[in-house]
Structure 1
Amino acid sequence: MVLTRKWSLFLVLVGLFAVAVWPRFAVAIWQDPRAWTGAVGVSGPTAFLWVHAVLIVTAMVLGLLTGYLGVRGLLAGRSRSSGVTRPAARDGAVR
């Protein structure tokens, strides 16, 4: 599959957005009194914290993978435009 430069840039921006937004959201959830059975950060975590932790980790992983794919698309586009040829796929897949 070949990504255009615009789609590759879009994927990179989505990845950067995830890296910028989700950690701040994680801090907000950590400081939320609903995330703890008592005092914030020193008592036991609630289901609210665990559910949001899973969502945040999933969103970060997907964001990082999306950004990675965008960077790969940009680099592949650069190598195509510079005339660099890639070796043929070993499994017979067409690239």
Structure 2
Amino acid sequence: MRCHTPGVMLSRRWAGFLVLVGVWTWVIWPRFGKAIWDDPRSWHGDTGSPTSFLWIHALLIGASLTIGTVVGVLGIKGFRAAARDRD
């Protein structure tokens, strides 16, 4: 499905910025997830089951990765559209 929003322009510089934000998200959040996984507050000591600390952070990390992916994809699409307009 193709849609067009009249009057919306995204420069190559801004599109590149959005791509970098997407990449940055995928560099930072998995490392943070590893740190949360290794944190003793993430697990009940006696049963080894996950705590709400782990679940909340997993939800935040998942949401951030989703948003970062969407922003990166929009940046790629904007970059390609800007390149087509230059030709």
Q: TM-score range by the shorter chain?
A: 0.7 to 0.9
> Once the 2 structures are TM-superposed, how far is the Cα of residue 43 of structure 1 from its aligned partner?
1.1
Compute the RMSD of aligned alpha carbons.
1.3
Helix, strand or coil for the counterpart of 2:49? coil
Q: Which of the two has greater helix per residue?
A: 2
Where in structure 1 do 4 or more consecutive aligned residues deviate above 6 Å? none
Structure number with greater CO (CA < 8 Å, separation at least 6) is 2
Aligned match for 2:24, one of 14, 17, 30 = 17
User: What is the TM-score of this pair, normalised by structure 1?
Assistant: 0.80
User: What are the equivalent positions in structure 2 for 1:1-95 lying under 5 Å apart?
Assistant: 1-38=8-45, 43-82=48-87
In 2, distance between residues paired with 1:65 and 1:8?
12
Identity %: 45
Q: Which runs of 5+ in 1 are unaligned?
A: 83-95
